Chain A
Amino acid sequence: MKKNMKNLPPPPEKGGLSPAEQQAFTAAGLPAQDVLYACKGDMDESLCYCTSWLWFGADKITVVIGQEEIGPAKKKKSRRLTPEITVERHADFAVADVTEITCERYVSTGRLIFRKDKEIVYAISFSMSCIEAFDRFAKAYASYKEKGVIDLPKEDDKKPGTCKKCGAPCDPDKEYCKKHNKTGATAVRLFGFFGGYVPQIIVIVAIMLLGSAIAVFVPQISTRRLFDDVLADAAGTGSQQALAAVGTLVLSIFGIKVLNTALSSFRQYIQGTIMPSVIYDIKVKIFKAMQRLSVGFYSSKQTGSLMDRVMRDATNIYWFFVDGIPGIITEMTTVIGVLIMMFIMNAKLSLLILVLAPTVFILLFVGEKLWRSMHHKTWVYRSKVSSMVSDNIQGQREIKAFAKEDEEYGRFEKASGAFRDAELKLALTEATVFPLAEVVVLLLTVIVLGIGSLMVARGDSSMTTGTLLSYIVYLQMLTEPFDFLAWVSNWWSRCADSAQRVFEIVDAPAEITEKEDAVSLEDFQGNIEIKDLDFEYEPARPVIKAFNLKIDAGQMLGIVGKTGAGKSTIANLIARLYDPKKGSIKLDGIDLRDIRFDSLRKNIGLVSQDIYLFMGSIADNIRYAKPDATMDEVIAAAKAAAAHDFIMKLPDAYETYVGSGGQKLSGGEKQRISIARTIIQDPKILILDEATAAMDTETERNIQNSLSKLKTGRTTLAIAHRLSTLRDADCLAVIEEGTLIEYGTFAELIEQKGAFYKLYELQNEALKAAGILQDETNDEEDEGEED
């Protein structure tokens, strides 16, 4: 394979054609020399899989449909792999005619569309694997049409979703496909967890080997020597010498057993000291890996499944290493030692056993395959049941409100039943394969007993009674390791399955990373500058488009717009929960990506719509961002967030236990604690993303007043649907479909009678209809909103 890798054709330049492609297209009479930007697809316009190429030059846009096969060059005697390109058809469009190219994203395909003034032309389709490339093509064309040059944001060297080595499909997070994935085998990586305990492991293995060696020699003394030497000589004599020989032998056997037990206890002691540390390392590693992952990772995973990974998967690995690995070493050395002894005693009989023994291994191998997928299946069902329980507990209010207790019970019963069936199936398979392996071992014993007895009866010098008996003891000694290996393969399946899930988290790359040479914000003022910002959660589905905004230090900016306009995305981008696809966000002139995480988090406070309170007291929660805050500071923050009064009404006041299992608080109360938590952090930039949406107008006003007092020298970004609450903002930005459409003060925007005015009028009408407008401080009910 390595040789083949070297022989692969050189990849094309980014946005260009490879030499082989240029040659093939030029030969077909296509304008492939004058290429400004190119991309490659995998479908034609009728959604048939093929290879397609698309490029534009100064005058023409060319679409080519054909086939490409990579194989050894036919004409040259080179071993280098070359692409064989066949051009089936092509179409040209004049650059002067095509005013715009758009990339449309559908459910599982995409389509590139050319716009010629009012006419639109369907150019080409492609699968989701190519959507990013076509989206960049459309952007490159737009840039060329607008500026005369191709100005695209820097792209990673590798195209996501394809192997860096062979171009085969792979996970977008991974660099290599299954063949070239260098993450290493599961077992090797698992052993990596033991890297810090090499001396202890050497001692453990040495003791195990010694223990096995002793166990192998015991039958030689306790059986063969007893029968052939001692009992044969002393039979019927009753002499002192014979009795002494028997006594010595019994004492030797006792001494050996005592030594073996002592060694085993010592091994368990050392093992006991390192294993908890190893499991601690695994759990900490998973947890640490989870902390560095982006928010997107969590939204795509079920809580139950993730909790299972931290707790159960780590435990599965733990037990395998505590009991499984030591057992494997002991039993394997026993097998090897026993086989050596058996060969020394009778080579022919041992050869016969060796011929039959592979049957056991075949059974175990087949079993391992079966168990692995069955374990996976039971894991999925278990996760489903866990998630269902967590879902049910969190949604109890809704379940009760809709009287769905019985349906929920039915759903749980069904999922639990599926889990039980999967476990039953696994248990039944185990119960079938294990006895089969035991039958084979039993068969071997019977064969040995038969042939050995015949040899003794015939007076064969190589087989005495003592030898036969010790031979049978050895054979019995083999049964135990076989049983163990059969059982441990099942165990390994469970461990490997768990390990795979653990490594999936450990290997997942963090989307947001800190640069090595990142800087701290020294003497930070709080200026924000957003320039040419483009952002999309998925290719060809832009959320923020060419967004520009400048907020001076100390200003309060209100961001308004319809639901889904991109307001929260802007907040998340400023807090660097995501990175922009194009453009930049600068704080005091420094790009966000060049700022150290700790410095950034210290200076930006974000109160989002979804509030989460951690388990602990209210004071602990307010102190979350500043653990050393004094009680004076906690109270001041709570007062500023209009939370102090309601906290003091609670029986345990600031020591009220909140979070999971704690005191129930209303949505508005939780929001106020969250605001206090951010205020105590004293950030230079405060982002309030619908932070007061669950509060009544009066409380909201109170908070606004408090924040106004606190806002001196603080840049505040407030996102709100209730436009009246943004009246005090220095400036307002109106966003529509990810673009800034209006900017100015409240009065200016009202005067402009544009989009903001419309929104304002609509809200006023709605409030009038509800009879609220006359007095805006008439509250929306906040009470009874228990979470």
Chain B
Amino acid sequence: MHNNDITPDSLNTLYVTPENCRFYSVKAGFLGAEIGGETHDRVILKRAMPFKDPDHYICITDVEKNELGIIRDLAEFPADQQALIGEELGLRYFCPVITDILSIKEKMGHFYFDVKIGDVKKSFTVKDISKNVRAHGSNVDITDVDGNRFRITDFSAINAKSRRKLEPYLY
């Protein structure tokens, strides 16, 4: 197959734009969409690059997991549509932002984190720290033993004490 053959049309990929796609909020907190004239009462959004490029290539599927289209760039959509999309993505990719690391204690290969998320104190355990604490640009993403995710949005901006605690494990 030549490269020229790989086009959105040949692979039935529909890159949606504000012209052919409109999202709307459905009662009970679900997201609906009108794509290419068809109405879908509940759509599901999934990021293709959730860590490195969360605002590009967002896949839209129905509840049966059939792909309806792909948002190439979220910024193409108007602000109100972005807010709706953001709300749905926020629910799926919920990732509270750590504002302060109170302590990291290591015992038998398990790392016990006490952190602050805004004003709320939170404790969680991380195993396989080299795999579950990952830096993506200035962000640091942490996944605990249950699969909960936490993020430090700008590692260089977090207070020095917190930075010193996490730094030895950040590579």
Contact = CB atoms under 8 A, between A and B. Distances in A.
Interface of A: 45, 47, 49, 106-109, 111, 119-122, 125, 127-129, 131, 161, 168-172, 174, 177-178, 181, 183, 186, 300-301, 373-374, 376-377, 380-381, 383-384, 418, 422, 500-501, 503-504, 507, 538
A186 B171 contact: no
Tell me which of A301, A373, A374 has the highest count of chain B C-beta atoms within 10 A of its own C-beta.
A373
B92 A106 contact: yes
Nearest to B165: A373
Contact of B91 (A125, A171, A181, A300): A125
Contacts of A507: 108
Given A120-B30, A507-B108, A111 B91 contact: yes
A376 B91 CA distance: 35
A374 B171 CA distance: 12
Nearest to A502: B109
Interface string B94-110: 11100000000111111
A2 B23 CA distance: 56
B125 A171 contact: yes
30 contacts: A49-B96, A49-B117, A49-B120, A106-B92, A106-B93, A107-B92, A108-B93, A108-B148, A108-B149, A111-B91, A120-B42, A125-B91, A127-B94, A128-B148, A129-B144, A161-B145, A161-B146, A169-B125, A170-B110, A171-B125, A172-B146, A177-B112, A178-B110, A186-B108, A300-B128, A373-B168, A373-B169, A422-B171, A503-B109, A504-B110
B94 A129 contact: no
A422 B170 CA distance: 12
B171 A49 contact: no
B108 A503 contact: yes
B8 interface: no
Interface string B102-130: 00011111101000010010111101101
Nearest to B122: A49
Contacts of B28: 119-122
Contact of B105 (A178, A301, A500): A178
Contacts of B94: 47, 106-109, 125, 127
A441 B37 CA distance: 84
Contact of B112 (A122, A178, A300): A178
Given A47-B90, A128-B147, A504-B108, 18 more contacts: A47-B91, A47-B94, A49-B122, A106-B91, A106-B93, A108-B95, A111-B91, A127-B94, A170-B110, A170-B125, A171-B145, A172-B146, A178-B105, A300-B128, A376-B168, A377-B168, A503-B109, A538-B147
Given A47-B94, A106-B94, A376-B168, A171 B149 contact: no
Contact of B109 (A119, A377, A384, A504): A504
Contacts of A384: 130
Contacts of B108: 181, 183, 186, 500, 503-504, 507
Given A107-B93, A418-B171, A181 B107 contact: yes
A422 B130 CA distance: 15
B50 interface: yes
A524 B127 CA distance: 43
Contacts of A161: 145-146
Contacts of A373: 168-169
Nearest to B90: A47
A109 B120 contact: no
Contact of A169 (B30, B106, B124): B124
Interface centre among B110, B117, B146 (most CB of A within 10 A): B146
B137 interface: no
Closest A-B pairs by Cβ, 3 of them: A373-B168, A504-B109, A122-B29
Which residue, A119, A120, A125, A418, has most C-beta atoms of chain B within 10 A?
A120
A131 B94 CA distance: 14
B171 A377 contact: yes
A114 B123 CA distance: 30
A134 B105 CA distance: 30
Contacts of B29: 45, 122
B113 to A, nearest CB: 9
A125 B90 CA distance: 12
A131 B145 CA distance: 13
A108 B42 contact: no
Most chain A beta carbons < 10 A, residue from B90, B92, B147: B147
Interface centre among B29, B95, B127 (most CB of A within 10 A): B29
A377 B129 CA distance: 11
Interface in B75-98: 90-96
Contacts of A504: 108-110
B30 A122 contact: yes
Nearest to B118: A49
Contacts of A181: 107-108
A501 B127 CA distance: 11
B110 A171 contact: yes
A108 B148 CA distance: 5
A593 to B, nearest CB: 26
A119 B148 CA distance: 30
A169 B171 contact: no
B168 A169 contact: no
Given A47-B90, A108-B94, A128-B147, A376 B107 contact: no
A174 B145 CA distance: 11
A98 to B, nearest CB: 13
A127 to B, nearest CB: 5
A383 B123 CA distance: 28
Contacts of A129: 144, 146, 148
Contacts of B117: 49
A229 to B, nearest CB: 56
Nearest to B95: A108
Contact of A380 (B124, B125, B130, B147): B130
Nearest to B145: A171
Contacts of B106: 500
A383 B130 CA distance: 10
B59 to A, nearest CB: 13
A538 B29 CA distance: 25
A625 to B, nearest CB: 33
A787 B112 CA distance: 43
Contacts of A503: 108-109
Contacts of A125: 91, 94
A503 B107 CA distance: 10
Nearest to B149: A108
A168 B123 contact: yes
Residue of B93, B112, B117 with highest tally of chain A CB at under 10 A:
B112
A45 B168 CA distance: 36
Contacts of B107: 178, 181
Contacts of A376: 168-169
B123 A501 contact: no
Contacts of B95: 108
Contacts of B92: 106-107, 109
A127 B146 contact: yes
Interface string B160-171: 000000001101
B103 to A, nearest CB: 10
A45 B28 CA distance: 10
A191 to B, nearest CB: 16
Nearest to B29: A122
B166 to A, nearest CB: 10
